[in-house]
A and B are shown apart, each in its own frame.
Chain A
Amino acid sequence: MKIPVSAKWWAAIALVILMALAPLRISGYSLRFITFIFMWIGLAASLNLLTGYTGYLDFGHVAFFGIGAYITGILMLKLGIPFFPAMFIGAIVSGITAVVVGIPTMRLKGAYFAIGMLVFAEGLKHVALELDGITGGGNGLSLPIYTNYVFFYYIMFSTVLLAIGITYWFERSKFGLALMAIREAELAAEVSGVNTFYCKLIAFGISAFIAGIVGGIYAYWMSFFYPGDVFNVLTTVHMIIMAFLGGAGTILGPIIGATFLAAIEEFLWAEFKYTYLITVGFIVVVVVLYIPRGIVGLIREKVFARS
């Protein structure tokens, strides 16, 4: 079975239009909930750009979300910069930080990179706690409250489109092929002429830039945040689970994984307040054991099996 390319495009366009028109019909909790799912898609897609394509599993990816949130918050509060430029600067700082941190950490392989990044993110949390003159320390930062939920819906939606657009570019471009080659066999890529170190750093920077945007929006949306919140290691774990549940290294993977997990968690959290984490853990085990290539990989294998 094979779906024609044009049908995929029409389905994508229809979905985008539907989502763009959604705020006309829905509001309140539902709109907030979809915005929330968009946030997770953005974060999972950001992680997917790095981990799904280069194979570098970043256990400290929340650091770039946190940097985006803090830079946006600090610029708005202390310098009175409007939201959009502040968010943009926050995302740029996130991207640059990833490149700088990547210079040492991207020389590490596998688990060592993951541990290095985990430590980096935890370290940043403590920096944010200590620099209380700028960050408010453990008391967090409170931004001016802005309750236009339609605004946040659209800006999160735009970020998702941007993240998915970049993923599409990764799938189709010369640069993306180099990243996949790095994921499959880094040494072979290097001796085939790929400047692997440079490519990895650029991918890391792009990935962190997206996480930074999401962080900036989150800061303004929530209007209050603190180090333990925006540098929470569980956020990273969620991004990883979502990307892998959906299918790492695919365009649809983060969308499906984030939507599925966020929806399930919302339901479980409402119904089983105290046992929902156990259930989520169970889902993770099932994914790792039975569908290592994620939902997208499973569907490809079973339904569109290559002839």
Chain B
Amino acid sequence: MILIGLLKVERVTKNFGDLTALDAVDVTLDKGVILGMIGPNGSGKTTLFNVISGIYTPASGQVHYRGQTITRKRPHSICRMGIARTFQVVLPFSQMTVLENVMIGALYGSGLSLREAKEKGIEVLEFVGLKDKIHTVPDNITTHDRRRLELARALSTDPEIILLDETMAGLTPTEIEEVLDLLREVNKRGITIFMVEHIMKAVMTLCEKIIVLNYGQKIAEGAPQEVAENEEVIKAYLGDRYV
């Protein structure tokens, strides 16, 4: 079986009033890859994630996953089908323990029982390096740990694809290295990664392919080096003078 085009975003357009947040965007995500997405603020990156994960319904266009159209499915069904995500602004369940946070994903995303979910939760937390904090509440852990918790919760749903929205924002260089290693390990386990990231070093080293959004349009796509030298991309980030 040729496992190409696990997730296909076809000419997706999304408007907010007069603003076109996404303008006929096409994305193909192949199984097992790490795809990066960059673009200036407000270029539509998070909106695209919201469309894929079912939070927004696009005005036109379709999202296909494993041969099924998932455009109008609700977020929880999309999660159960195998697409997990993290949020740019972390959304922990504040009054629940770190373990309970992760158990939610295991219970509902992968449909486990309480006992199984607990085991799974501990396993995932060990994987991301939060094992010694399982009984702490998210308010009492560092930003870095909260981002790892967000990742752990997504992983606990047993995803095939994981959408990462700026997992490294606000981290120190050492912490970024740790996350990079972690993501490589996630990818090795067979999970396809689609990530939005502003930290160029991370994107350049981790991703095989990068797509660039600007004002809701895909302006470039290709290997990291190609994209970095692309005139359109330089214009979008720095303005005409720098081309």
Contacts and interface: CB of A to CB of B under 8 A. Distances in A.
B157 interface: yes
Interface string B23-60: 00000000000000000000000000000011100000
Interface string A94-137: 00000000000000000000000000000000000000000000
B55 A177 contact: no
B93 A184 contact: yes
B105 A192 contact: yes
Interface residues of B, number: 34
A193 B157 contact: yes
Contacts of A190: 55, 74-76, 79
Most chain B CB neighbours (cut-off 10 Å) among A173, A174, A183, A192:
A192
Nearest to A194: B108
B94 A193 contact: no
Interface residues of A, number: 21
Given A192-B104, A193-B105, A184 B80 contact: no
B113 interface: yes
Contacts of A188: 87, 91-93, 153
Interface stretch (B95-103, B126-134, B226-234): B95-103
Given A191-B75, A191-B84, A193-B80, A178 B55 contact: no
A188 B55 CA distance: 11
- Those 7 A-B pairs whose CB atoms lie nearest each other, nearest first: A193-B109, A193-B108, A184-B93, A188-B91, A185-B91, A193-B79, A192-B105
Interface of A: 173-174, 177-178, 180-181, 183-185, 187-197, 249
Interface of B: 53-55, 74-76, 78-80, 84-85, 87, 91-96, 100, 103-105, 107-111, 113-114, 117, 153-154, 156-157
